[in-house]
Amino acid sequence: MFDDFTLARITVGEVTLRVRHGGDGPALLLLHGHPRTHTTWHRVAPLLAGEHTVVCPDLRGYGESTKVPTTDDHAPYSKRAMADDMVGLMRELGHDRFAVAGHDRGSYVALRLALDHPDHVSALSVLDSVPIGEALARCDARFAREWFHWFFFAQPDTPERVIGADPDAWYRVGTRNTPERMGEENFADFRRAIHDPATVRAMLEDYRAGLGIDRAHDDADRAAGRRVACPTQVLWSTRDDLGDLYGDVLAVWRPWTTDLRGATVESGHHMAEDAPEDLARALRDFLAPERVRPPLGGSRGGDKSY
């Protein structure tokens, strides 16, 4: 995996992040989702490395990155905390301004990066998601049935016990998730993660933060009329349920953005593994220099006053 990429561990504040980086050109940060690690990008990152310096970290709590102690409000696993990690990581690697693409849970970190740190983010791509605040505001019986894990994961202690009893069964090892589908090394990295109780607890903390503090941050942004200032791309999988749940996915995102485009990708949910060439092409086209413009004014920067 990741030929000609560097594997490193970089300390940023209270966490040490495992990260692979390589390539040449404008910086592009790729953020994985649950229950993956950075290795989910192993088929995409090399396709982009000829035009971009590609950075693929494990988010805090995931993979081999630090699992910090939590608090009652789960703030250490908020998307704001994870976004701050990413700004620090990119600064350590010499990138003050960069594009970011995030999948699944990583897309929430990417959105928070663009909202909290607009001076650092040149372009935003979100894969298979709508904002957490939107998903919860629109929640109905169908969403609760099909996305029950959001609410189950938020419960104290029980999810750890259930998953820990048989991680392979919970995460569908051998059926949905196989070495053939994921790639052998990526599969092995994923399986190590789901068999580590500390990683499982940290991944659950991500979801617990999602239903509380992350939603509060999203709702505060909407109430203030804050939007993503940079060009934004939304991609969603044809064999996932985002379109079925929301119909016009771009209509959900439009109030959050100032410059929006999007399309479907013929893929299952894990599009970086299922359709790497199509995903890389979509990202490459979106990030062409003539498509990315400077940020608008009104940067919130590091202000955390609300």
CA–CA gap between residue 106 and residue 277 (Å, rounded): 20
pLDDT of residue 301: 30
Is residue 200 in some structural domain?
A: yes
Counting other chains too, the contacts that 244-249 makes at CB distance below 8 Å and 24 or more residues apart are 245/138, 245/142, 245/143, 245/146, 246/130, 246/138, 249/130
Confidence label for 291 from pLDDT (cuts 50, 70 and 90)? low
Mean pLDDT of all residues in 187-201: 98
With a cut of 50, say whether residue 303 has pLDDT above it. Answer: no
304 lies in some domain: no
pLDDT at 263 over 50: yes
Q: How far apart are CA 104 and CA 301, in angstroms?
A: 25
Give me the pLDDT at residue 306, please: 16
In this prediction, residue 279 carries a pLDDT of: 98
Kindly list the distances between the CA atom of residue 156 and the CA atoms of 72, 103, 159, 163, 170, in Å, as whole numbers in the listed order: 11, 26, 7, 13, 18
Residue 285 has pLDDT above 80, yes or no: yes
pLDDT at 1 over 80: yes
* DSSP per-residue codes, 138-164: T--HHHHHHTHHHHHHTSSSHHHHHHH
- Judge whether 305 lies within some domain: no
Please report the pLDDT score of residue 289 as a whole number.
Answer: 75
The 10s digit of each residue's pLDDT in 54-91 is 999 999 999 999 999 999 999 999 999 999 999 999 99
Query: Is residue 297's pLDDT more than 70?
Result: no
pLDDT of residue 98: 98
Q: What angle do CA 302, 16, 128 make, to 5 degrees?
A: 70
Give the pLDDT score at 187.
98
Using only the alpha carbons of the chain, give its radius of gyration: 18
Q: Per the domain annotation, does 102 fall within a domain?
A: yes
Q: Which amino acid is at 87?
A: V
Residue 38 to residues 32, 132, 256, 290, Cα–Cα distance (Å): 6, 22, 27, 29
pLDDT of residue 142: 93
Predicted pLDDT of residue 5: 98
pLDDT for residue 300 is more than 90: no
Average pLDDT, the chain: 94
Res 256 pLDDT > 90:
yes
Task: Find the mean pLDDT for residues 151-177.
Answer: 97
Instruction: Kindly state the tokens that stand for 89.
Output: 């990581």
Residue 296 lies in a domain: no
Residue 206, pLDDT score: 98
Q: How far is CA 175 from CA 41, 140, 182, 276, 302, in A?
A: 21, 29, 12, 20, 44
Are 69 and 29 in contact by the 8 Å Cβ rule? The answer is no
In a domain, 179, yes or no: yes
Domain assignment of residue 48, yes or no: yes
The pLDDT score that the predictor gives to residue 198 is: 98
Question: What domain range includes position 181?
Answer: 6-291
Using the 8-state DSSP alphabet, how is residue 123 labeled? E
Q: What are 177's strand-pairing partners?
A: 173
CA distance 30 to 32: 7
pLDDT exceeds cutoff 50 at 202: yes
- Reduced to 3 states (helix: H, G, I; strand: E, B; else coil), residue 70 is coil
How far apart are the two ends of the chain, measured CA to CA in Å? 42
**Is there a contact between 20 and 7 (Cβ–Cβ < 8 Å)?**
yes
Catalytically active residues are: 104, 269
Give percent of the chain above pLDDT 90.
93
Counting the structural domains of the chain, the total is 1
Residue 99 domain-assigned (yes or no): yes
pLDDT digits (tens, 9 = 90+) for 174-185: 999 999 999 999
CATH number at residue 227: 3.40.50.1820
Residue entry with tokens 């088929």: 43
Tell me: cis bond preceding 231? Omega within 30 of 0 counts. no
